[in-house]
Amino acid sequence: MSGNELASERRGSADAEADGSAPPPLVEFVDIRKAFASVVAVDGVSFDIPCGQIVGLVGANGAGKSTLMNILAGVITPDGGQILLHGREVHLRNPRTALHAGIAFVPQELNLVPDMSVAENLLLGQFPSRAGVVRGGSLRERARELMVRVSLEKMDPNRPAGALSPVEQRLLTIARALAHDPQLLILDEPSATLPADTVEHLFPVLTALANSGHSLVYISHRLQEIKRLSDRVVAMRDGRVTGRVERDAVTIEGMVELVGGQPGRRGTSTLSSRRKGKVAVAARDLHGSRIRGVSFEVYPGEIVGLTGLQGSGRSELLRMIAGVQHYAHGSLDVLGGGPCRSPREAARRGVAYITEGRGPMLLRGMSVTENATVAALHSFSGRGFTSGRKERSAVGRLAQQLSIKGDPNQPIQTLSGGNQQKVLIGRWMLTGASLWILDEPTAGIDVHAREEIHRLIRDFADRGLAVIMASAEPEEIVSVCTHAFVIVEGAISAECTAPLAVEPLVAACYVGHDLGGQVDADRSLRDGMAP
Structure confidence by residue, pLDDT tens digits, 203-226: 999 999 999 999 999 998 888 889
Choose between 62 and 190: higher pLDDT: 190
Q: pLDDT band for position 269 (50/70/90)?
A: low
Residue 126: pLDDT over 50:
yes
Amino acid identity of residue 30, one-letter, is: V
Round to whole Å and give the CA distance between 232 and 474.
25
Q: What is the pLDDT of residue 512?
A: 59
| φ, ψ dihedrals at 362, nearest 5° | -85, 140
Angle in degrees, CA 376, 380, 384, rounded to 5: 110
Section 400-425 average pLDDT: 87
Q: What is the pLDDT of residue 273?
A: 61
Q: What is the pLDDT of residue 469?
A: 96
Choose between 438 and 122: higher pLDDT: 438
Burial class (CB in 10 A: 0-12, 13-18, 19+), 398: buried
Contact (CB, 8 A) for 360 and 332: no
Amino acid identity of residue 85, one-letter, is: L
Round to whole Å and give the CA distance between 478 and 498.
8
Structure confidence by residue, pLDDT tens digits, 223-263: 888 999 999 999 998 899 999 999 999 988 888 888 876 44
Omega cis (within 30) before 531 = no
1-14+23-102+183-261 and 281-511 share one fold: yes
**Fold entry, domain 281-511:** Rossmann fold (3.40.50)
With pLDDT > 90 as the criterion, what percentage of the chain qualifies?
A: 44
Structure confidence by residue, pLDDT tens digits, 421-457: 999 999 999 999 999 999 999 887 776 788 889 999 9
Choose between 383 and 423: higher pLDDT: 423
Residue 520: pLDDT over 50:
no
Q: Spell out the CATH class of 1-14+23-102+183-261.
A: alpha beta
Please choose, from the candidates 197, 218, 198, 223, the residue with its C-alpha nearest in 3D space to the C-alpha of residue 207.
Answer: 218
Section 407-427 average pLDDT: 88
The long-range contacts involving 143-149, CB below 8 angstroms and separated by at least 24 positions, are 143/118, 143/119, 146/122, 146/175, 146/176, 146/178, 146/179, 147/118, 147/122, 147/175, 149/175, 149/178, 149/205, 149/208, 149/209
Section 329-335 average pLDDT: 96
Q: What is the pLDDT of residue 32?
A: 97
Choose between 516 and 444: higher pLDDT: 444
Per-domain residue ranges of the chain: 1-14+23-102+183-261, 114-181, 281-511
Section 179-188 average pLDDT: 92
Residue 169: pLDDT over 80:
yes
Q: What is the pLDDT of residue 139?
A: 78
Instruction: Tell me the average pLDDT of the chain.
Output: 83
Contact (CB, 8 A) for 2 and 207: no
Query: Each residue of 338-371: b (16+ CB within 10 Å) or e?
Result: ebbeeeeebbebbbbbbbbebeebbeeeebbbbb
Residue 523: pLDDT over 60:
no
Structure confidence by residue, pLDDT tens digits, 101-115: 999 999 887 888 889
